[in-house]
Amino acid sequence: MKKLKAIALCAAAAASTLVAAPALAQEQFVPLLVYRTGQFAPLGIPWADGKQDYLKLVNARDGGVNGVKLSFEECETAYDAAKGVECYERLKSKGTGASGFDPQSTGITFAVTDKAYADKVAIETPGYGLSQSVDGTVFQWNFPLLGTYWTAADVMLQDIAKKEKGSLKGKKIALVYHDSPYGKEPIPLLQKRAAADGFELALFPVTPPGVEQKSTWLQIRQQKPDYVLFWSAGVMTPAGIREAQASGYPRDKIYGIWWAGSDHDVKDIGAGATGYNTITIHNSAARDRVHDDLRKFVYDKGQGTGAATGVGTLAHTRGMMIAMLQVEAIRAAQEQYGKGKPLTSEQVRWGFENLDLTADKLKALGFGEVMRPVKTSCANHLGTDWARIVQWDGSKWNIKSDWYQADKTHIDPLVKELSAKYAKDKNITPRSC
Amino acid sequence: MGFLLETLFGGLMVGMLYALVALGFVLIYKASGVFNFAQGAMVLFAALAMARFAEWIPQWLGFDNQILANVLAFLAATACMVAVAWLVERLALRKLVNQPGITLLMATLGISYFIDGAGQLLFGSAAYKIDVGMPKDPMIVFEKTFDGGLLLSKEDLYSAVIAALLVATLTLFFQKTRTGRALRAVADDHQAAQSIGIPLSRIWVVVWSIGGIVALVAGIIWGSKLGVQFSISLVALKAFPVVILGGLTSVPGAIVGGLLIGVGEKLSEIYLGPYVGGGIENWFAYVLALAFLLIRPQGLFGDKIIDRV
Amino acid sequence: MFYRENGQFKSSYRADVALFPIAQDRWAMAGLLALAFIAVPSLASDYLFRAVLIPFLILALAAIGLNILVGYCGQISLGTGAFMAVGAYAAYNLQVRVEGMPLLLSLIGGGLAATVCGVLFGIPSLRIRGLYLAVATLAAQFFIDWFTNRVPWVTNGSSSGSVSISGLQMLGYRFDTPVQKYLLCLSIVAVFALLAKNLVRGAIGREWMAMRDMDVAASVIGIRPVHAKLTAFAVSSFIVGVAGALWGFVHLGSWEPAAFGIDKSFQLLFMVIIGGLGSIAGSFFGAAFIVLLPLVLNYVPHWLGLSLSTATASQLEHMVFGALIVFFLIVEPHGLAKLWSTARQKLRLWPFPY
């Protein structure tokens, strides 16, 4: 009987806690979907720290956006789509409406994109997500700013072509990828390019979480591709680089995607990863005034989210860039809908679509060295994609190439084709821009 | 031909590493009749302890010697695993003494969640490194006989030797020492062992501690190879087919099973994989174990399951 | 006092073997159904539907399926996630490839595909037993994980491997709002629960229980092990397949193979163990426990005013989860259903002690 009473009390208490806490109305709410646990934690932790740090900086240094302070709440997804959806549902209507979601995961992006249409919330997916969602006429609510996996793959091929005196014909390029929607994203573009440029594409899927890659790299040793494109994340990256070292594949022939190229991926391997190339979104390897401001206004006051040593690492800077785009979207939307007051999700979406970050504005924000101008429009939700190749030298990343932009001759038709398919499947009438 | 040999070597080495993880399962099952689902979590916990202590101890005590740091970290991690074993026995096993197998299985699953969370809470959920001086570069042999030579991973070779030494030590321990004999007695028949005065709960603490130390060694080897992060607990999933192939109650079975699974996995992935798109080694290991089980339902070296009707 | 059966005499065999022989039980069940069908839709919030009630119902259905296999027939299976995946993808293919396919037929088609799969992977159970079988069922889990990831036909040629369903509708009736989805799931679960309850009370259920208790003795008295075990796998997989299809269609809407991974299998097994092996009501209790626990654990720090980093909160959640599992197994190894039936027993005599 006592057991039953206790259990009944617990159940009642549990039921009463399911009421969500209300948020203050004079603040702009930014939900932060993060993964600080699970197989992607090594990537997720600095990313999440970067996002939160920048929001704190805006509040501390600028007093918010035109006086409207930013409130934020983190929700742990562990890269799981179901948890991501639960976090999304819980946070989408908080405050005056969520300013935008950065799900940090291609899988969660897929799950949440359909709901975003109905809920009218923007999904910001810089450097990941559905590559065809650059087409704003169909994907009204998705914003793959600064780069997608197709632009990344294209830039990698451009850099390789440069090394190979301009032609990829007859070469063998392997794609070692995380066997999930994230890893499979570049395949359509790579296949197209292989057909057009005459190189052979070999695909090597790695079962998540990717701790066991011996067979993959043994096969690579046998098949001797000229270059390896490495689409991994989290623990799969160091595991792969270590296996590459153990099987003797030259690291300078490996190109990691931007999520596979951050300090935490290679610093434990140190000299063993020397030569490993990665692509950066714009120039996230650089340092600029924003890092100094962050130290001055946030870390020196003890308000930093992560360890101070994380400031300036690739993943952390990328997190800050993503948060900056969110904040600038809010600012742009305020210009349209009313300065100094909190906005709804739909209004912030307008902001995302009308971003115009000129070189001067970026310099004023402290991102002048890190980013190049970005301008979005109704039909173009990508903005402008710039990338650079950086290389690990055993202790730090060195910028190895000049600025690249993806060659749109293959990407644009693919975007059109797949976004038309999406529109047909989902019964969406494309907007006219 | 050369590549086939390379694959075989690679498979054998990896198989030894799986066998190392499987050893923990077998030891605990033999002595306490519990299939320890928490073994993977224990490997993670042990590896995290080792990695973090190796990082923290030099900071706390203020010296720089890597070897000393590693030794102290090893001792500290061993102490942690013994503490875990003691807690598990005290709080969970003692209360679940006569429950059916599935309840114990679920209890260990619950324990594995707990240890996963506790380990990452105490030590962190990012990726950490273990550096015990394992050579990282490959060794190429027989360059004259085979084109490009045969690739042998020095790290895997050293790890396989360490695993073999561990098995030999444990076998000696079980055969020659008093505690070892007591463990075998308990594995044979709990009640009989109790009736001749063997303290069951103490034996279980010893067994789980040994399981913990085996997990520590496995954690150090895997951690040194891959870096220490949450995903390391998933190598336990690779060890399951080894355990059921070799038989739940047999230490040589774990070794043989490990070698078979390792080789089978690699051969299937490299020779069959390309025809079906790759990525098959995960399930192939299980299907291989399943195929063996259909011929011998108790595993290759396991005890026959006898039912009293 | 309330639960006295005085005066309730049965005058026909039919009344004697009724599902709820005691009138109070019948009233309670009717009340519960009224609550579920009428009260909840008018009172609950959108969030409650989407995050609590719908997952609870679908997981309860899957737990019923698993309970039949593990609780009633004693075959430990760790591959439930795979069967849910088969159900979901089969239903998806039927829905997408056949023009104008009614939703219910897609769901049942998913269930049938899962049945075929389940029987196939259940064949080893004829030879392998106990823990060995548990681990062997993981073969099914990993194989299906790989299959749904690799074979493009399964995902209807989706380049990313992610599939989605939009617009559930049947006989012209659309299921768009959370309330409609909730009622759909509720009806399906109610029907299946009734069917399952009657199955396990019948001859086939008794065969299963005989196999669970002592399969050698059962075969000695004439129960065919092949028939019993494979029907258990078949029925269980059918229910789990339908649950998987519902999970994909109604709860997720858009999913990838990782949604039905090994974590789901463990989650379902937890539900069944905590809820109570060998009990249909237990499946519901277990599902409620597992669905509510993470949400409660998420809110408790809020409640107490602590601000924890999400990583800490997540680790603590794991720890509390694990600890609660062990606690439950120690305190009541037969699960919440046993607690409930003990309560009912006491209630029958209350306020008298015996």
Residue A340: DSSP 8-state: T
**For position A12, what pLDDT does the model report?**
53
pLDDT tens figures, C7-43: 888 889 988 888 888 888 888 899 999 999 999 998 8
Angstrom distance (rounded) from CA C245 to CA C261:
15
Q: In this complex, which of A38, A215, A239 lies closest to B226 when CB atoms are compared?
A: A239
**For position A16, what pLDDT does the model report?**
47
The answer to whether B230 contacts chain A (CB < 8 Å) is yes
Crossing angle for the helix pair C54-67 and C280-304, to the nearest 10 degrees? 140
Structure tokens at C334: 């037969």
Q: With 0-12 CB in 10 A as exposed, 13-18 as middle and 19+ as buried, what is B160?
A: buried
The answer to whether C123 contacts chain B (CB < 8 Å) is no
**For position A9, what pLDDT does the model report?**
56
Average pLDDT over residues B238-255: 88
Determine, yes or no, domain membership for C297: yes
Average pLDDT over residues B133-145: 80
- Mean of pLDDT over chain C: 89
When mean pLDDT is compared across A277-281, B131-135, C255-259, C299-303, the lowest value belongs to C299-303
Amino acid at C194: L
Q: In this complex, which of B6, B125, B136 lies closest to A218 when CB atoms are compared?
A: B6
Interchain CB distance below 8 Å, A90 and C302: no
The answer to whether A398 contacts chain C (CB < 8 Å) is no
User: By C-alpha distance, which of C284, C217, C303, C296 is closest to C66?
Assistant: C284
Average pLDDT over residues A332-357: 90
pLDDT for A10 beyond 60: no
- Residues in chain A within 8 Å Cβ distance of C304: none
Interchain CB distance below 8 Å, B155 and A209: no
Angstrom distance (rounded) from CA B281 to CA B90:
39
Interchain CB distance below 8 Å, B109 and C266: yes
Q: Give percent above pLDDT 70 in chain C.
A: 100
Q: Taking the CA of residue A408 as centre, how many other CA atoms within 13 Å lie in the half-sphere pointing to its CB?
A: 12
Angstrom distance (rounded) from CA C342 to CA C354:
13
Angstrom distance (rounded) from CA A251 to CA A243:
11
CATH number of the domain at B49, please.
Answer: 1.10.3470
pLDDT tens figures, C34-83: 999 999 998 888 888 888 899 999 999 999 999 999 999 988 899 999 99
How confident is residue C345, by pLDDT bands cut at 50, 70 and 90?
confident
How confident is residue B257, by pLDDT bands cut at 50, 70 and 90?
very high
Q: Which CATH architecture has domain A27-148+286-387+414-426?
A: 3-Layer(aba) Sandwich (3.40)
Distance to chain C for B237, nearest Cα, Å? 9
**For position A18, what pLDDT does the model report?**
45
Widest CA span in chain B:
65
Distance to chain B for C326, nearest Cα, Å? 5
**For position B304, what pLDDT does the model report?**
75
Neighbours of C102 (CB within 10 A): 15
Which is more confidently placed, B306 or A177? A177
CATH number of the domain at C275, please.
Answer: 1.10.3470
Determine, yes or no, domain membership for B183: yes
* Residues pairing with A73 in the sheet: A31
The answer to whether A248 contacts chain B (CB < 8 Å) is yes
Amino acid at C26: R
Angstrom distance (rounded) from CA A191 to CA A200:
9
Q: With 0-12 CB in 10 A as exposed, 13-18 as middle and 19+ as buried, what is B298?
A: buried
| Fold: same for A27-148+286-387+414-426 and A150-280+388-402 | yes
Structure tokens at C136: 């062997």
Size of interface B-C (CB pairs under 8 A): 144
Q: Are strands A227-231 and A172-178 parallel, antiparallel or unpaired?
A: parallel
Window 176-205 of C: residues touching B by CB (8 A cutoff) are none
Closest residue in B to C324 (Cα–Cα): B110
Residues near B21 by beta carbon (within 8 Å), at least 6 away in sequence: B39, B40, B43, B215, B218, B222, B235, B236, B238, B239, B242
Interchain CB distance below 8 Å, C270 and B237: no
Angstrom distance (rounded) from CA A291 to CA A216:
39
Determine, yes or no, domain membership for C217: yes
Reduce the DSSP state of residue C170 to 3 states and report it: strand
**For position B49, what pLDDT does the model report?**
94
Domain count, chain C: 1
> What does the radius of gyration of chain A's CA atoms come to, in whole angstroms?
22
Angstrom distance (rounded) from CA B286 to CA A246:
26
The answer to whether C177 contacts chain A (CB < 8 Å) is no
Reduce the DSSP state of residue A93 to 3 states and report it: coil
Interchain CB distance below 8 Å, C311 and A17: no
ipTM exceeding 0.90, yes/no: no
CA distances from A21 to A74, C1, C305 (A): 14, 42, 12
pLDDT for A168 beyond 70: yes
Domain that holds residue C109: 44-349
Q: Taking the CA of residue A318 as centre, how many other CA atoms within 13 Å lie in the half-sphere pointing to its CB?
A: 30
Helix (H) or strand (E) holding C243: helix C225-246
Average pLDDT over residues A77-94: 87
Average pLDDT over residues A347-369: 90
The answer to whether C308 contacts chain B (CB < 8 Å) is no
pLDDT tens figures, A240-273: 998 898 888 999 999 999 998 888 888 888 888 8
Residue B296: DSSP 8-state: S
* Multiple choice CATH, A150-280+388-402, 3.30.70.980, 3.40.50.150, 3.40.50.300, 3.40.50.2300: 3.40.50.2300
Domain count, chain B: 1
CA distances from C69 to B99, C80, C118, C209, C228 (A): 20, 10, 11, 10, 10
pLDDT tens figures, B48-73: 999 999 989 888 888 878 888 899 99
pLDDT for A227 beyond 60: yes
The answer to whether C132 contacts chain A (CB < 8 Å) is no
Average pLDDT over residues A53-73: 91
User: By C-alpha distance, which of C185, C210, C188, C186 is closest to C200?
Assistant: C210
pLDDT for C351 beyond 90: no
- Residues in chain B within 8 Å Cβ distance of C79: none
Angstrom distance (rounded) from CA A399 to CA A401:
6
* Residues pairing with A279 in the sheet: A389
Angstrom distance (rounded) from CA C319 to CA C342:
29
**For position A25, what pLDDT does the model report?**
55
Determine, yes or no, domain membership for B114: yes
Residue A22: DSSP 8-state: P
- Residues in chain A within 8 Å Cβ distance of C331: 3
Q: In this complex, which of C136, C151, C214 lies closest to B244 when CB atoms are compared?
A: C136
Average pLDDT over residues B275-287: 87
The answer to whether B283 contacts chain A (CB < 8 Å) is no
The answer to whether B238 contacts chain A (CB < 8 Å) is yes
**For position C235, what pLDDT does the model report?**
96
Amino acid at A295: R
Q: Give percent above pLDDT 70 in chain B.
A: 99
Window 22-51 of A: residues touching C by CB (8 A cutoff) are 34, 36-37, 41, 45, 48
**For position B119, what pLDDT does the model report?**
92
User: By C-alpha distance, which of A407, A390, A410 is closest to A399?
Assistant: A390
Closest residue in A to B6 (Cα–Cα): A218
Report the phi/psi class of residue A427: left, alpha or beta, with left for phi > 0 and alpha for psi in -120 to 50: left
When mean pLDDT is compared across B212-221, B267-276, C193-202, the lowest value belongs to B267-276
Determine, yes or no, domain membership for C65: yes
Determine, yes or no, domain membership for C3: no
pLDDT for A77 beyond 60: yes
Which is more confidently placed, C167 or C318? C318
User: By C-alpha distance, which of C193, C235, C200 is closest to C83?
Assistant: C235
How confident is residue A80, by pLDDT bands cut at 50, 70 and 90?
confident
How confident is residue C229, by pLDDT bands cut at 50, 70 and 90?
very high
> Whole-model pTM?
0.90
User: By C-alpha distance, which of C86, C81, C98 is closest to C148?
Assistant: C86
Determine, yes or no, domain membership for B304: no
Domain that holds residue B10: 2-295
Angstrom distance (rounded) from CA B30 to CA B299:
14
Annotate A106-170 with DSSP letters as a single string. HHHHHHHHHHHHHHT--EE-TT-S-GGGGBTTT-TTEE-TT--HHHHHHHHHHHHHHHTTT--TT
Residues near A131 by beta carbon (within 8 Å), at least 6 away in sequence: A144, A148, A149, A150, A185, A186, A189, A414, A415, A418
Residue C71: DSSP 8-state: I
Widest CA span in chain C:
67
Angstrom distance (rounded) from CA A27 to CA A21:
15
The answer to whether B125 contacts chain A (CB < 8 Å) is yes
User: By C-alpha distance, which of B33, B76, B29 is closest to B51?
Assistant: B76
Give the start-to-end residue ranges of the domains of chain A.
Answer: 27-148+286-387+414-426, 150-280+388-402
**For position A4, what pLDDT does the model report?**
58
pLDDT tens figures, B1-46: 788 888 898 899 889 889 989 999 998 888 887 888 899 999 999 9
Reduce the DSSP state of residue A36 to 3 states and report it: coil
**CB A108 within 8 Å of CB A129:** no
Average pLDDT over residues A162-189: 90
Which subunits have 3 or more CB–CB pairs within 8 Å of chain B?
A, C
**For position C268, what pLDDT does the model report?**
94
**For position B308, what pLDDT does the model report?**
66
